[in-house]
Each structure stands twice: as C-alpha cells, then as structure tokens.
Chain A
Amino acid sequence: MIALLSLSVAALFGAGAYMLMRRSLVKLVMGLVLFGHGANLLIFTMARAQRGRPPLVPEGAEAPTAPFTDPLPLALILTAIVISFGIVSYAIVLIKRVYQDVGADDLSIMTTTDR
C-alpha cells in the first residue's frame, strides 16, 4: 500500500514538473495542480493510513483503540485542498486575462518585464 502510494506521489510530482516546464500557460496551471496533488498525497502517505481503523472513539471509551489512523494529516490535507482551490481559481483567471492581453498561450514571448 505504502509502496503504491509512494509511486503515485512520484508520478504526480514528475508529471507536474514536466508540465511546469512547458511553454503553454494552461499546461503551467495543470502542472501546479498536479504538484499540489502530489504534495497532498505525500502527506496522506506519511499518515501511515491503516485499513479499517478509523480514529473513532468507541461508545463508553475515552480514546480510540490503537492502532488507529492518525487524523491530523487528514485535517492538514483538507486545509491544503481548500487553499489550493482558491489559488487555482486565481491562477485560471490570471491566465485567461494574460491570454486576452497578450493574445497567445506562449510563455516564451512574455519577456517584456525581464528586459
């Protein structure tokens, strides 16, 4: 399970990095999204998820019976997903505006502010 998740994380980071290096703005945003998924899945993997052991307190008990899945990383991922939702929305609006202004979907011609 951990091996499978690790491979998925590697694949997401690899695909994200590849997309980030493309010239197209749309692919740039896709790269950021894939990168974000990779990071979230990495945190999930670090939580060492246990199959069928939710962190629930049984009736009458004070604490969940060990071993149980650590709920904190899931809270972290949830926060990160909400944040990345906002960021990706912004990025999409930004590339739309850039596309309208520049008239092209090509990063290599956007060098006016570098000179």
Chain B
Amino acid sequence: MITVALPVLIPLTAGALCLLVWGRARLQAGLAIAALAGMLASSAALLIRADSGAIDVMHFGAWDAPVGITFVSDRFGALMSVLASLVGLAAAIFSVGSLDPARARGGHYPLLLTLVGAVAGAFLTGDLFNLYVWFELLLLSSFVLLTLGGTRPQLEGAIKYVTLNLIGSLLFLATVGLIYGATGTLNMAHLSRLVPELDPTFATALAAPLLVAFGIKAAVFPVFFWLPASYHTPPPVVSALFAGLLTKVGVYALIRSVLLFAGQETGLLATVVLWTAGLTMLTGVLGAVAQSDMRRILSFHIVSQIGYMLMGLGVSMAVVARGGPEAGGLAALALAGSVFYIFHHIVVKTNLFLVSGAVIRARGDSNLAGLGGLLATHPALAGLFLFSALSLAGIPILSGFWAKVALVKSGLIAGQWAIVAASLVVSILTLFSMMKIWTGAFWGATPASAPPAGARERRLGASIYGPIAGLAAVTLALAAGGSVAFGFASRTAEQLLDPADYQRAVLPASVAPASAGGEG
C-alpha cells in the first residue's frame, strides 16, 4: 500500500522541489510547511489505521518479504512518524520568524525536509539494512544543518557529533553483516521468527553491538559526550529539531532491534540496559546542574531523559527473561511507560528548545547570567515555558507524570529498586534545573543590558508563538487525555512484545510458519 510510504515520499519530494527554487527562502518555507502538514495528515491516517490493529505493509519493487525492502506501519512506527511530522512542522514554522536570511537561503528548508523524511523512513522501515540507509541519510542532513553558517562553535561541535555518530553507524553496519551471516535475513519480521532458533549466547552476542551502536545514537552513558558538545551550537530551531527527533530515532531502533532478541535473552542484556538507564539518568541531570546556559541545561536533560526511555525497556526485558505467570502484562506495562515517555518527551523537549529560541530572539542570549525579568516583558512566553518545564519534571496530572507513574510502578512490581530510586532522585533534580531556568531567565529584574521592550528586531511574532503554543496544546491534550493515550501506549507495547501479527502481516505464507511457542 503506497500510503505507508507517503510520510517519507512527501517531505523528500518537497525537499527536491526546494532545490529547484534555490535561494528563494519564502517559497521554500511555504513548500516545507505545506509538505510537512501533508506528512502529518498522512501519518495521522496511518496511526488511525494502525490503532485498529491493522498492520499495513508495502513491498518496494514487487519483491516480497523477506527479500525485498519492506515498509511496515504498526502502532509504534505510525506513532513515531506522527511525532516526527509534528516536530518538523513546528520547526519549519518557527524557522520563518527566527532564522537569519543567509541560512534560510542557504538550504535550511530542503535539509529540514530531507531530515524529517529520513527520520520517518527509519520509523517505518521493516528492514535492518534499510534502517541503516535512513540513518545515514538523516545523519548527513543533520551534519549539514548543524554546520550551516560555519561559525567556530558549530564546527567544533560538529567534529564530535560527526565522529561519534559515524562510529555508531559503522558498528551498526558491521552488525547488520553479522546478523545476515547468522540468519540469512535482514527483514525484521523474518528475524523475529528466526532469532528464537539461535543459541541464546550467540543471540546475545549479536544484540550487544546493536545496543552499543544505537546507544551512541541515543546518547546514553557513557557515549553521550557528542550531544552536549554540539546541540547548543546551531540556530535554536535546529537545536529544537535535533533535540526532539534525533536521539529518539536511536531509542526507537534500540527498542525495536533489542526486542527482536529479547525472547532469546538470558537476562544479561536486561541488566546492562538497566544499569545504562540509571547511569544515563544520573550523569545527564548532574551535568545539567553545572551549566548556566539555557540550551546547555536542556541538552543535558535530553541525556537524562533517554535514561527513562531505556528504563522501561530494561524492566520489560528483565521481566521477560525471568518469566513467570504475570510476566507478559508487567513487561507490557513497563514498555508502555517507555512509549508514553517518548511521546511526551519529543513534544515537551522540542517546545522547551523553541522557548529558548524565543528567549534568544527576545534578548540575544540564552545564558542565565545575562537574563531575567522575562516574566514582566513576555508573560505569555513565561507561562508556556513554565507549563512545559513542569510537564518535563513530571508534576502530577501533567504529561510527564503519567509516563513516570507507569515506569515506577512496573519497576516496583518487578523489584528493580535501584532504578526506581534513581528515577525518583533524577525527577527532583530535573525540577531543580527547570526552576533554575525559571528564576534565572523569567523571574527577577530585567538586566540593564536588555533591549528595550518593543524593539522591532526583538519582537516575537506569530511564527514564534504559534509552534510553541501548538506544542503546548499537544502536551496539554496528552495530560488531559492521559488514560486514552496510555491505553494506546499499552496496545503499542503489547504489539511490540508479541510479534505474531507483525510476522503474519509482513511475511508471505510460503515462508516457514512460526515454530511452536515462538517468543513471548
């Protein structure tokens, strides 16, 4: 079905069209916004279909799975595709009012479209090698977006970003080769059928390098250094786009691929994931304490929150490895916590970075030492920041709270005390960091160096407030409709943990049927 590929085709086609009207920034911006709105609509259609339990599949070039390249839209993939288009749309609108003309003319919009299209490709593909190709496409677009403008901090940040991400990619590529050698397939549905027949130790050995490769891309401890070194260097709108999407592609790939091997796993990988999750949470949040620049603080918090996403995966894997009568439900609860957390995090984090962009726009700086009094001069911005910041910290009834409730509850039932304790401590420290930004930037007296209120070049227009308010509305809907969203996350987790439907949808009947029992 061609609809499965639309969220990828629309932005990539629009990106190519943008190249044809090179240098005409307004036209490119219009094209980008229209294309991303179309992508959002087509992804939403996929999500609605996927939630009915249908798994739509498209085989490219009439080569059936497991030989050809397959696109699959299940609940997780469709949800991530919706989030990618949402973040892309917000970033494209925000670019109109915040980006300098040189960058806007120099290819910002085509790169943004290619990046978002590649991210959607990574979410929708059902083939490991194709996933590698999308990873490279999104990396290459992000490399150029990161360095567009070529200031010295951008270039220095890019060196670290490029090197570590390429090492991750090459490790992934090498593991793809090993997996092909071991199983003779790279189709994820086919793999989920063949992996349970492998020797458990061997399966763990194949999953381990994937864990490292996607761990680098997701910026987990101890391989996260590239993120805080580079995310604050490009224009704020690019930071927001990266913050919302890129590490989450790593987390998505980690969850997908590690779960392929989870049924066959001895508990070793689960322990590694849980330790990584805890240390990622702690180092990220402690790194943020020492920072005084808004964007640097927020960058370290990305690292910290990746830990929460891994926590659900780790608890779920530990429960599956231990087995027992209620393992299935508990594993689904933990994984649903991760899915909900990713949903919440992408929206909130993008929004906080957009707010930092608005602050830079209003005051010319995002260092807390030179800020203050924004509550008096920009009350609406202050309100939107506070709402998103409290959601991020997980204040009760806001969206982050529901995500953390599921994670902590599953951790307690599973008896993973250490990770639960770590997650609660990190929550408090997150709140502390957000309050530091609040008191530093929004409260207090306006410094004398601040430009006078109403200065023309510092005014914030609709293209600044629009995306911020829109994403805040999504966060609010996620909090208000917490039980609906959580129900969806639970169904997503169940679908991820039981690959039988996925296999039936993707593989033709001629491919050997699942061995009795399968993985659970």
Interface residues of A (CB under 8 A from B): 13, 20, 25, 28, 32, 35-36, 38-40, 42-43, 45-48, 72-73, 76, 79-80, 83, 86-87, 90-91, 94-95, 97-98, 101-102, 107, 110-114
Min C-beta distance of B222 to chain A, whole Å = 15
22 contacts between A and B (CB under 8 A): A28-B159, A36-B173, A39-B170, A40-B173, A42-B174, A45-B177, A73-B180, A79-B129, A79-B133, A86-B140, A90-B144, A91-B162, A94-B147, A94-B158, A98-B156, A101-B152, A102-B156, A112-B152, A112-B153, A113-B232, A113-B233, A114-B229
Q: Are the C-beta atoms of A43 and B140 separated by less than 8 Å?
A: no
Q: Is the interface of A mostly helix, strand, loop or mixed?
A: helix
B156 touches which of A40, A83, A90, A112 (Cβ 8 Å): A112
Q: Is the interface of B mostly helix, strand, loop or mixed?
A: helix
Chain B residues closer than 8 Å to A25, beta-carbon distance: 159
CA distance A25 to B229 in the complex (A): 17
CA distance A94 to B160 in the complex (A): 11
Q: Total A-B residue pairs with C-beta atoms closer than 8 Å?
A: 102
A43-B180, A46-B178 known; A113 vs B162 contact (CB < 8 Å)? no
Chain B residues closer than 8 Å to A40, beta-carbon distance: 173
A43-B180, A73-B180, A90-B140 known; A113 vs B153 contact (CB < 8 Å)? yes
Chain B residues closer than 8 Å to A101, beta-carbon distance: 150, 152, 155
B443 within 8 A of A: no
B176 within 8 A of A: yes
A38-B174, A73-B177, A90-B140 known; A113 vs B156 contact (CB < 8 Å)? yes
Residues 28-69 of B, flagged 1 when their CB comes within 8 A of A and 0 if not, give 000000000000000000000000000000000000000100
Q: Are the C-beta atoms of B143 and A113 separated by less than 8 Å?
A: no
By beta carbon, the residue of chain A nearest B233 is: A113
Q: Are the C-beta atoms of A94 and B178 separated by less than 8 Å?
A: no
Q: Are the C-beta atoms of A80 and B173 separated by less than 8 Å?
A: yes
A73-B180, A90-B143 known; A97 vs B133 contact (CB < 8 Å)? no
132-154 of chain B: CB within 8 A of chain A: 132-133, 136, 139-140, 143-144, 147, 150, 152-153
B163 touches which of A28, A83, A90 (Cβ 8 Å): A28
B181 within 8 A of A: yes
B166 within 8 A of A: yes
Min C-beta distance of A106 to chain B, whole Å = 11
Chain A residues closer than 8 Å to B181, beta-carbon distance: 45-48
CA distance A34 to B167 in the complex (A): 11
CA distance A101 to B154 in the complex (A): 11
By beta carbon, the residue of chain B nearest A79 is: B133
Q: A91-B166, A110-B156 are in contact. List 4 more A-B contacts (CB 8 A).
A: A13-B174, A35-B167, A87-B140, A94-B143
Q: Are the C-beta atoms of B177 and A87 separated by less than 8 Å?
A: no
A87-B136, A94-B158, A102-B156 known; A43 vs B173 contact (CB < 8 Å)? yes
455-502 of chain B: CB within 8 A of chain A: none
Q: Are the C-beta atoms of A110 and B177 separated by less than 8 Å?
A: no
Q: Are the C-beta atoms of B133 and A113 separated by less than 8 Å?
A: no
Max count, chain A CB within 10 A of own CB: residue among B129, B143, B167, B170: B170
Q: Are the C-beta atoms of B136 and A76 separated by less than 8 Å?
A: no
Chain B residues closer than 8 Å to A13, beta-carbon distance: 174
A76-B129, A87-B136, A94-B162 known; A113 vs B144 contact (CB < 8 Å)? no
B433 within 8 A of A: no
Chain B residues closer than 8 Å to A38, beta-carbon distance: 170, 174
CA distance A107 to B226 in the complex (A): 14
Q: Are the C-beta atoms of B230 and A113 separated by less than 8 Å?
A: yes
Q: Are the C-beta atoms of A46 and B173 separated by less than 8 Å?
A: no
Q: Are the C-beta atoms of A87 and B166 separated by less than 8 Å?
A: yes
CA distance A47 to B140 in the complex (A): 28
Q: Are the C-beta atoms of B170 and A32 separated by less than 8 Å?
A: yes
B157 within 8 A of A: yes
By beta carbon, the residue of chain B nearest A114 is: B229
Min C-beta distance of A67 to chain B, whole Å = 14
Chain A residues closer than 8 Å to B147, beta-carbon distance: 94, 97
**10 closest A-B pairs by CB:** A46-B181, A43-B177, A39-B174, A39-B173, A110-B156, A113-B157, A83-B136, A42-B177, A46-B177, A98-B155
